[in-house]
Structure 1
């Protein structure tokens, strides 16, 4: 998914939905790190992608809080 489309989707969500997605992304990141530590992770680039998505979600949350 392109990042611009993802950000637009995030901007259309409510704060509660964004918080749910943030929790979900953090759980996914934890699981990916755990798989990486046990050498079970095939696509290590997914860790970077999830970290960037977490940052995008937090940015949108901050912008909504400023409004």
Structure 2
């Protein structure tokens, strides 16, 4: 879906929106996995990784702004 270069090209607002969307999706997937109706368990991992990538980019930008 979103590779690292696409994420780095996004603005801060776009990253926030993408992170919120991924968090909402992850929340929904967790409920599905608990009720054993999750068709693709790999989606949980993909969403967690996407959120981690976004947070890493946001942290890098904050550190760059302070420097």
How does the TM-score come out when normalised to structure 2? 0.88
Residues 15 and 64 in structure 1, CA contact (< 8 A), matched pair in contact too: no
Partner of 1:45: 42
Instruction: Provide the aligned length of Structure 1 versus Structure 2.
Output: 64
Give 1:28 deviation, angstroms.
0.4
- Across the aligned residues of Structure 1 and Structure 2, the Cα RMSD in angstroms comes to 1.2
Based on CA coordinates, which of the two structures has the bigger radius of gyration? Answer: 2
Unpaired stretches in structure 2, ≥5 consecutive residues: none
How does the TM-score come out when normalised to structure 1? 0.88
The Cα offsets for residues 20-58 of structure 1, whole Å up to 9 and x where unpaired, read as: 100000000000001111111011111011101110010
